[in-house]
Amino acid sequence: MQEIHRTEIATLGEFGLIKHLTENIKLQNPETKYGVGDDAAVLEFNNQQTLVTTDLLMEGVHFDLVYTPMKHLGYKAAIVNFSDIYAMNGTPKQITVSLAVSKRFCIEDLELFYEGLQLACQLHGVDIVGGDTTSSVTGLAISITCIGVADKEQVTYRNGAKETDLVCVSGDLGAAYMGLQLLEREKAVFEGQKEINPDFSGKEYLLERQLKPEARKDIIEELSKAGIRPTAMMDISDGLSSELMHICTQSNVGCRVYEERIPIDYQTAVMAEELNMNVTTCALNGGEDYELLFTIPLTDHDKVSSIKGIKVIGHITKPELGCGLITRDGQEFELKAQGWNPLKEK
């Protein structure tokens, strides 16, 4: 087996490391006047709203390096931020990247992380314009701030849903959670063994949804082409039920969603059955799908129905009716926010 070359991070120092990781970054946007290399990036915008979002990812809480490749981690760390900007009906333009790194990591590890990061940025036309690095005694921590833009009249908040609006989602739900369950199961099976050869055949989609999610730039573009402006929107990071309740609370409305309309991939259903889990519960509460959940006026029903990859799953009601799920057999249950909550006690 060929020995992998390791370059210790200490050989470069902080500024040497920043230069090493960012010297080949090419700026793509005219709004980016000055990127990495000074105390702050310089951006210039005319007649547009500037959107800013930040995500903090902690090793052992948000990701497990036993089964998460560094390149995939870099890609996902960028994508989750872009998704927040798309969820505001905006366009991501720049990111800053801050890392806290322990001595377990070498230059080559961080190169792979930046490869994934830059791949995501190239696909979405985003510039890396700065950040910070420091040491860590508790593993890897990643903080990314994303800056985006949107025309003032196009910015979409969580608080605009109106009674009789349709509730829509993009893509399918629950696959990322099933991918996580699969990875955790195989990690437990092979724990303590030198040779790890899990068989993931037939489950590739689930792994991709967990390790390499995509932000739905395409859906934002299709809605714009169709002349549809959502009345409220979020990305599904913590689970459909939690996000729906956020929209309903902030818009002061209720909702009804139909179990039979929730889009679920075949591999997700098979995996849920294999693990003896309820697939609807997984789709409602799983999280990390990074699909878009949004509401639109009832009058846009025909327009949205013609867009591939969007499903109408319910409608908005009066606030006193609360948030309810209509099951396949016609029963009604109250929706509960049981999605991902990183701060709850175990």
**272-297 pLDDT per residue, tens:** 999 999 999 999 999 999 999 999 99
Q: Are residues 226 and 328 in the same domain?
A: yes
Least confident range from 4-18, 111-125, 135-149, 253-267: namely 4-18
Q: Are residues 186 and 309 in the same domain?
A: yes
Q: Are residues 292 and 237 in the same domain?
A: yes
Choose the final residue of a domain: 130, 154, 178. 154
CATH of the domain at 97: 3.30.1330.10
Q: Are residues 188 and 316 in the same domain?
A: yes
Calculate mean pLDDT across residues 46-61. Answer: 90
Interatomic CA distance for residues 42 and 38, integer angstroms: 9
Q: Are residues 281 and 232 in the same domain?
A: yes
Q: Are residues 203 and 139 in the same domain?
A: no
The pTM (predicted TM-score) of the whole model is 0.91
Calculate mean pLDDT across residues 132-145. Answer: 95
Choose the final residue of a domain: 103, 125, 154. 154
Calculate mean pLDDT across residues 255-281. Answer: 97
Choose the final residue of a domain: 154, 181, 215. 154
Domains: count for the chain: 2
Give the pLDDT score at 5.
83
Q: Are residues 117 and 216 in the same domain?
A: no
In a domain, 341, yes or no: no
pLDDT-based confidence at 35, cuts 50/70/90? confident
Residue 53 has pLDDT above 60, yes or no: yes
CATH of the domain at 254: 3.90.650.10
* Domain boundaries, position 77: 9-154
Residue 345 has pLDDT above 90, yes or no: no
Give the pLDDT score at 183.
95
